[in-house]
Structure 1
Amino acid sequence: MTPSTSTNLTRIVKFGKKPAKRDARNLKLSAILKAPPRLPAEYDFDVQHNGIPTPMFGNDYHGDCVIAGRAHQTLRFEDAEQKKILPITETDVLKEWHLENGGTEDGVYVLDSIKLWRTKGWKAAGKVYKIKAFAEIDRKNHDEVKSTVYADIGTGLGFSLPDSAMTEFNAGKPWALTTKPPNKKNGHYVYVPGYTKIGPVCVTWGRKQQMNWAFFDKYCDEAYAMIDAADTKKKKSILDGKKIDEFLTKLKK
């Protein structure tokens, strides 16, 4: 699969997510959520942690969106934990992308990639970072998406974007048009640090992008919560750490 490219006079971007994989063995977010938290109408991790950048990470010339999304998540995980912005580079992202795609320009399967993130980790800013676990989000349940974002545990969404999404993006408009069919060539992965009353807000192609819930419902084809650790008061109040550990123990057998 050669990643699709979208261009206009000012923007060159690439797609690089392969078709969504399904695995019934995945940990489900619903299985580790405690009583649903009282969700604010709007929330954005970046508002609480000022100064986090939104680099392109090479996704203008390479179909590395899955690893670029991982980099954006890692920036926020470590800002919360280490209280500093990691100097993650485009080279870090491209090196991991080539490791996972065999050095080709092919795209990456999200599920395969996050499994590697959990088991082997990836090297960013001179250090290897892993996630503790990942959980599949019920895409039909908006509160699961919002709970994941509000818990600061990392929300990754995969899309088969319609061609109209690029027109909206280039015009600086939210992703809202839903009359066009999904384009399988436009497989794309984004990290979501926030949501508004309208819908999720993702980081993609060097900036923040709003979408509405109708757009999410039609074009999102996979959604995962990435859990680096269940070690803060907020995470402990939302996630059942014991159930996560029990799942991981069984996984090793």
Structure 2
Amino acid sequence: MIRKLGKLAPKRDPRTFRMSAPLASVLPVIPPSTNWAPNVSWPMWCNDRYGCCTQVSVASAIRTWTGAAQAPVLLTDDQVLANYSAVTSPPFDPDQPATDRGAVELDVLNRWVRYGLAMPGTQPGRSYLSGYGAIDPRSRQSIQRAIAFLGGVYIGLSLPEWCCATDDDWAYDPSRDNSIAGGHAVWLHGYDADWLYLNTWGQRRRLSWEFLAQFCDEAYGLVSRQHWSDIHGVSPRGEALDALVAEMKAASNA
């Protein structure tokens, strides 16, 4: 199986909202385990042909959120590639291999907030992100809170080469050759004491907490009132997100 990478180096912006403290306030007691997308069959979304993993993760987030509300929305391959093209410069063109250069996660998130991204729907369908905030990937509690409260975490990995050639779990072993192949974006939709749960390259996968601490170079909690909260007015756990969204907006306007 061919597995493409495509996450470019992290872009740091001092204005990025810091999410760990607000999450600790809204979810002081952390569930021992959470999995918002168990037993889901995941598409490849063309990540065997193109370096569109930053948009595969967007599609995974939307599928997770809407699936938790019992109304799953699945982006098409064409929509994933259109979203990839929208955040690349020059724009990605499937017929021009030289334009397949990957994307920056922060650029993806900013585009999603400001202009929306393609999704199934009419006239045409658009997905909008309410906001996002940076999370320390080495803070286990912050990652757990974001998954439990927000439905997942959007992360970037500096991925070892061996991960691209195996269907095994991603567990850190300092004795093996951990040479980095490149950057990869994934969506974490669950955790327990030992593992984090994700999908990549059309497969369900687990990675260990030690692996996350070693190879994750950026992590973001995403707030989606459109997909996560507006279906019931609150998230599936019953927490209102209005206060968190208000705090994020206040910080961005400061």
User: TM-score with structure 1 length normalisation?
Assistant: 0.84
Q: Which residue of 1 aligns with 2:159?
A: 161
How many residues are treated as equivalent by the alignment? Answer: 233
Q: 1:234 aligns with which of 234, 237, 254?
A: 237
Instruction: Please tell me the root mean square deviation across aligned C-alpha atoms, in Å.
Output: 2.1
Q: Which residue of 1 aligns with 2:138?
A: 140
Identity fraction in percent = 25
Could you tell me how far 1:24 is from its partner in structure 2?
1.6
> What are the Cα deviations for residues 96-151 of structure 1, in whole angstroms up to 9, with x where unaligned?
11122112201000011111111111111131011111011111210111111111
Runs of 4+ displaced beyond 3 Å: none
Give the secondary-structure state (helix, strand or coil) at the position aligned to 2:67.
helix
Could you tell me how far 1:252 is from its partner in structure 2?
5.1
Where structure 2 has 5 or more consecutive residues not aligned to the other structure, the ranges are 93-98
CA distance in 1, matches of 2:43, 2:210: 27
Q: Which residue of 2 aligns with 1:8?
A: none
Whether the aligned pair in 1 keeps the contact of 2:159 and 2:184 (CA below 8 Å) is: yes
Q: 1:227 to 1:140 in 2, by over 3 A?
A: same
Whether the aligned pair in 2 keeps the contact of 1:193 and 1:202 (CA below 8 Å) is: yes
Q: 2:31 aligns with which of 14, 29, 40?
A: 40
CA distance in 1, matches of 2:244, 2:63: 27
CA distance in 2, matches of 1:250, 1:146: 23
Q: 1:234 to 1:182 in 2, by over 3 A?
A: farther
Where structure 1 has 5 or more consecutive residues not aligned to the other structure, the ranges are 1-10
Whether the aligned pair in 2 keeps the contact of 1:164 and 1:177 (CA below 8 Å) is: no
Q: 1:154 to 1:118 in 2, by over 3 A?
A: farther
User: TM-score with structure 2 length normalisation?
Assistant: 0.84
Whether the aligned pair in 2 keeps the contact of 1:13 and 1:59 (CA below 8 Å) is: yes
| Residue type at the aligned position of 1:175 | W
> What are the Cα deviations for residues 37-72 of structure 1, in whole angstroms up to 9, with x where unaligned?
43333221124xx6x431110001100000011001
Q: Which residue of 2 aligns with 1:7?
A: none
Q: Which residue of 1 aligns with 2:200?
A: 204
Q: 1:95 to 1:43 in 2, by over 3 A?
A: same
